[in-house]
């Protein structure tokens, strides 16, 4: 038998076409792997953050509804000790927020239910002190820490506390935050002199007992 005609040439497989067809599968595979890796890292980070805040102390961060940790439990204990009873669960929930707002109202600060630096300062131990107030007849005088004493000066005088020391003063249910701006009083038995503006905010007149917490 005679074969006529030209034989069909051998054609090599088109690798480019094969690679293109396989590429979507490869892209999908790596996309899945990337997604798994990102989920894994998110879980690890969340666990690390949770462990960190479980060891946190009050003051490491701002506390609000939804936070949890050792610092929240400390907050709840402090609230209970001051008459605002709340379970010491370590979780800042609706009850804790309500008690924080009640505490803030009692201390004369914004009742937003968020525990930041100002609210934490109100938990510092207060010491009973004898105070007087000063101003009339001395307005225009230079204060020891700088500036002139005026009717609107919002500060206190103390013999030894460093200038700029922050003080939280409570008097008959009212609260005022001020700083040491002058020296005095120089009358025996008195430990603080309140500038006129502070005295007016507290409803303080003459000589009396105040409760003071200090911070730098």
What's the pLDDT tens digit per position in 91-134?
Answer: 999 999 999 999 999 888 899 999 998 898 888 778 899 999 99
Please check whether residue 61 lies inside any domain of the structure: no
- In this structure, are 131 and 190 located in the same domain? yes
Q: Residue holding tokens 């000790």?
A: 81
Q: What is the structure's pLDDT at 37?
A: 73
Please check whether residue 181 lies inside any domain of the structure: yes
Please check whether residue 63 lies inside any domain of the structure: no
Please check whether residue 84 lies inside any domain of the structure: yes
Q: What is the structure's pLDDT at 21?
A: 54
Please check whether residue 44 lies inside any domain of the structure: yes
- In this structure, are 131 and 113 located in the same domain? no
- In this structure, are 113 and 83 located in the same domain? yes
The tokens of 189 are what? 């038995």
Helices 70-81 and 94-106: angle between axes, nearest 10 degrees = 50
- In this structure, are 101 and 145 located in the same domain? no
Q: What is the structure's pLDDT at 123?
A: 84
- In this structure, are 42 and 22 located in the same domain? yes
Average of per-residue pLDDT across 77-88? 90
Stronger pLDDT, 109 or 141, i.e. the higher one: 141
- In this structure, are 95 and 166 located in the same domain? no
Stronger pLDDT, 52 or 36, i.e. the higher one: 36
Please check whether residue 203 lies inside any domain of the structure: yes
- In this structure, are 78 and 26 located in the same domain? no
Check whether 68 has a pLDDT greater than 60.
yes
Sort 185 into a burial class: Cβ within 10 Å, 0-12 / 13-18 / 19+.
buried
- In this structure, are 206 and 136 located in the same domain? yes
Q: What is the structure's pLDDT at 175?
A: 82
- In this structure, are 43 and 100 located in the same domain? no
Q: What is the structure's pLDDT at 216?
A: 64
SS3 134: strand
Check whether 49 has a pLDDT greater than 60.
no
pLDDT band with cut points at 50, 70 and 90 for residue 50: very low
Q: How many domains does the chain have?
A: 3
Task: Identify the sign of the CA torsion 150, 110, 83, 69.
Answer: negative
- In this structure, are 139 and 203 located in the same domain? yes
DSSP state for residue 43 in the 8-state scheme: H
Please check whether residue 3 lies inside any domain of the structure: no
- In this structure, are 30 and 101 located in the same domain? no
pLDDT band with cut points at 50, 70 and 90 for residue 151: very high
**Mean pLDDT, the chain, integer:** 84
Please check whether residue 113 lies inside any domain of the structure: yes
What pTM, to 2 d.p., does this model score?
A: 0.52
Full residue range of the structural domain in which residue 144 is found: 127-215
Check whether 166 has a pLDDT greater than 50.
yes
Calpha distance 74→58 (Å, rounded): 7
């Amino acid at each position: 038998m005679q074969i006529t005609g030209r034989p069909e040439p051998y054609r090599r497989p088109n690798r480019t076409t094969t690679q293109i067809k396989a590429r979507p599968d490869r892209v999908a595979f790596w996309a899945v792997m990337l997604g798994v890796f990102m989920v894994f890292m998110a879980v690890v980070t969340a666990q690390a953050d949770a462990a960190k805040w479980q060891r946190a102390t009050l003051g490491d961060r701002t506390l609000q509804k939804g936070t949890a940790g050792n610092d929240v439990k400390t907050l709840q204990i402090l609230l209970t000790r001051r008459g605002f009873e709340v379970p010491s669960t370590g979780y800042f929930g609706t009850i804790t927020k309500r008690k924080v707002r009640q505490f803030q109202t009692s201390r004369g600060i914004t009742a937003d239910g968020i525990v930041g630096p100002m609210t934490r300062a109100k938990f510092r131990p207060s010491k009973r002190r004898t105070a007087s107030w000063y101003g009339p007849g001395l307005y225009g005088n230079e204060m020891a820490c700088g500036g002139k004493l005026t009717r609107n000066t919002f500060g206190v005088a103390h013999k030894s506390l460093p200038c700029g020391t922050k003080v939280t003063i409570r008097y008959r249910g009212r609260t005022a935050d001020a700083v040491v701006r002058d020296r005095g009083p120089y009358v025996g038995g008195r430990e603080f002199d309140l500038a006129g503006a502070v005295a007016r905010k507290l409803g303080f007149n003459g000589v009396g007992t105040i409760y003071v917490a200090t911070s730098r």
